[in-house]
Amino acid sequence: MSHRAHLFSLRIAHAFREACVDERYTGGRFLKDLMAGVTVGIIAIPLAMALAIASGVAPQYGLYTAFIAGFVIALFGGSRYSISGPTAAFVVILYPIAQSYGLGGLLLATLMSGVLLVIMAVMRLGRFIEYIPESVTLGFTGGIAVVIATLQVKDFFGLSVETMPEHYWDKLAVLAQQLPALDSMSTLIAAITLAVMLLWPRLKTPVPPHLPAVIIGSLLAIWFNANGAAIETIGSRFSYLLPDGSTGAGIPPFLPEFAWPWQQLNAQGEPVGLSWNMVRELLPAAFAIAMLGAIESLLCAVVLDGMTGKRHSANSELMGQGIGNIVVPFFGGITATAAIARSAANYRAGAQSPVAAMVHALVVLLALVSLAGILAYLPMPAMAALLIMVAWNMSEAPKAVHLLKTAPRSDVLVFLTCFGLTVALDMVIAITTGVLLAAVLFMREMAQMTKVTDITDNKRVVQAGLPKGWRVFKINGPLFFAAADRVFGELADLSREARGFVLYMDGVTVLDAGGLAALNKLIDQCRKNGTEIMIADLQFQPLRALARAGLKPEPGVSSFYPSLASALEALSARRNAPQMV
């Protein structure tokens, strides 16, 4: 199947069926999938917990997301190597929802976003994601990275901040105010964890750096706490209810139960409920989640295509992401999408099919039921250091710096706008403004490329002499609303004293409604001035636009010719005819 066909196709479980049914799936391939899935599952465990905490909910909800959504999306999606679960990109959207509407609101928004993703897949909108400029993508991902890193300052330095303000600058003010009271032991653990993650890759081992970093940080926290320190851990911050009514520390060592998302608690500790008002309040957030999920998952699939030489099905991937985000809230899971770093690690570990992602999900499930007690010892400063590293990696800072140094000013302006709005206001506003600004700047550049040139004296084009008072003009570039008024206005000025002119339009590829209106305006002005216009060499789209508009030749005012040569021949015939002199 061609890449274009993949973009437009929609087949549920496309990647699984292509890799495991259409192709021969052998025991050897399964063994490779098994090893890759175990590797990525181990990587995903601390990340899923850290990202849930950063999103404003307890760590077990990140694990629920990794193994439920990770399995469902792998089964129903369109990219054979993608690993889905909680990702850092969603933190800036999910955290405010969790603060305002609690876990119930977050799960309801996730469910709604899943429905929107399915609608996008059915409408075959997967291919339109590629129209988002890189300057917009780098801008909002960089802004998200800054916000995530800022949110980790509290745990990194062990600061006592009860609640974080809503606005970014207020967050900075509160953190700066509390920074002198930092906890030295928490800071030391976070710094050592971060240093291990930075230095570990130099050893060139297959073990991902965050695993030894988190283990070392946890051992230090256990030692410090045994000697009288008060390092916060997952076990000391989070708790859960046991069936007998007692409380357990850390994360519950059992599977989540089915529950309606709208029956989960809001920020006030009451069921969030399902009402039209609640749906209306959460709809902007759900739309933002769906858009970001689509962008992240399809960007991940494109990156994997480049690494593997395979081709994903964009609409099938959106369908899988939608189904996953519809299913997971009923079991307490938060928003999921494809994670580029984990997906790349999956491929490098030898994955052959979506079975590797399913194995990864089962590894996370096994860790939840068997290692919950051990995971409770993970220190919050180490988790903050881990998320700071995740934020740095997702920021793609080298790419952003390269863009700032080498890209045109318009792209730099779009990047800075998206970055600033993501940090200061909201990611939805940032993406919307960035795309609109990029479109306007692109139209301006395209409009500036459209030019009108007087070629009357160009002997290579106009070989025969012209009747007195006649000129030939050539238009190059698209005649759309942003360019047409200027171009035809220039023509009107250039031809004001002319008896007539030939308009050579072989370089015009597009003529839109604005261009048609401007052309009609020029013809009206020519009619008033007694100037004749001969239009020559129209390409297919402009010719079709003129035909649909019903624009017809008008004797003595306007006429149409298939080529410049035929228009010049008609003029020559007039000049040689006695009655035309």
User: What average pLDDT is seen over the chain?
Assistant: 86
Task: Pull the structure tokens for residue 532.
Answer: 């004749």
Q: What angle separates helix 380-395 from helix 340-348, to the nearest 10 degrees?
A: 90
CA distance 247 to 235: 11
Give the domains, in start order, of the chain with CATH numbers. 27-441 (no CATH), 451-576 (3.30.750.24)
CA distance 151 to 153: 6
Average pLDDT over residues 414-438: 84
pLDDT band at 494 (very low <50, low <70, confident <90, very high): confident
Residue 344 has pLDDT above 80, yes or no: yes
Residue 580 has pLDDT above 70, yes or no: no
Phi, psi of 241 (to 5 degrees): -95, 135
Name the DSSP class of 139: H
Residue 8 has pLDDT above 60, yes or no: no
β-strands 558-561, 247-249 pairing: unpaired
pLDDT band at 576 (very low <50, low <70, confident <90, very high): low
Is there a contact between 45 and 37 (Cβ–Cβ < 8 Å)? no
pLDDT band at 70 (very low <50, low <70, confident <90, very high): very high
CA distance 100 to 453: 60
Residue 41 has pLDDT above 50, yes or no: yes
3-class DSSP assignment, residue 206: coil
Residue 254 has pLDDT above 60, yes or no: yes
CA distance 24 to 543: 52
Average pLDDT over residues 294-323: 87
CA distance 190 to 180: 17
CA distance 315 to 467: 60
CA distance 349 to 342: 10
Which residues make beta-bridge pairs with 247?
241
Task: Pull the structure tokens for residue 141.
Answer: 């991902």
Burial class (CB in 10 A: 0-12, 13-18, 19+), 205: exposed
Task: Pull the structure tokens for residue 306.
Answer: 């480049």
Which residues make beta-bridge pairs with 140?
none
Q: What is the pLDDT of residue 218?
A: 92
Residue 540 has pLDDT above 80, yes or no: yes
Query: CA-based angle 543:502:532, to the nearest 5?
Result: 100
CA distance 249 to 376: 7
Label residue 554 left, alpha or beta by phi (over 0 means left) and psi (-120 to 50 means alpha): beta
Q: What is the pLDDT of residue 39?
A: 87
Is there a contact between 488 and 451 (Cβ–Cβ < 8 Å)? no
Average pLDDT over residues 450-475: 78
Least confident window among 311-315, 445-449, 469-473: 445-449
pLDDT band at 577 (very low <50, low <70, confident <90, very high): low
Phi, psi of 503 (to 5 degrees): -105, 105
CA distance 214 to 43: 11
Residue 108 has pLDDT above 90, yes or no: yes
Q: What is the pLDDT of residue 2?
A: 47
Name the DSSP class of 505: E
DSSP 235-270: HHH-EEE-TTS-EEESS-SSPPPP--GGGSB-TTSS
CA distance 133 to 434: 9
> How many C-alpha atoms does 144 have within 13 Å on its Cβ side?
31
CA 375 vs CA 50, 75, 208, 229, 388: distances in Å: 11, 28, 18, 19, 20
Q: What is the pLDDT of residue 461?
A: 67
Average pLDDT over residues 517-529: 85
Is there a contact between 234 and 59 (Cβ–Cβ < 8 Å)? yes
Average pLDDT over residues 430-454: 82
Distance spanning both ends of the chain, measured CA to CA: 64
CA distance 295 to 312: 14
Residue 581 has pLDDT above 50, yes or no: no
3-class DSSP assignment, residue 369: helix
User: Counting every residue, how long is the chain?
Assistant: 581
Residue 378 has pLDDT above 70, yes or no: yes
Task: Pull the structure tokens for residue 546.
Answer: 């003129």
3-class DSSP assignment, residue 337: strand
pLDDT band at 9 (very low <50, low <70, confident <90, very high): low
pLDDT band at 353 (very low <50, low <70, confident <90, very high): very high
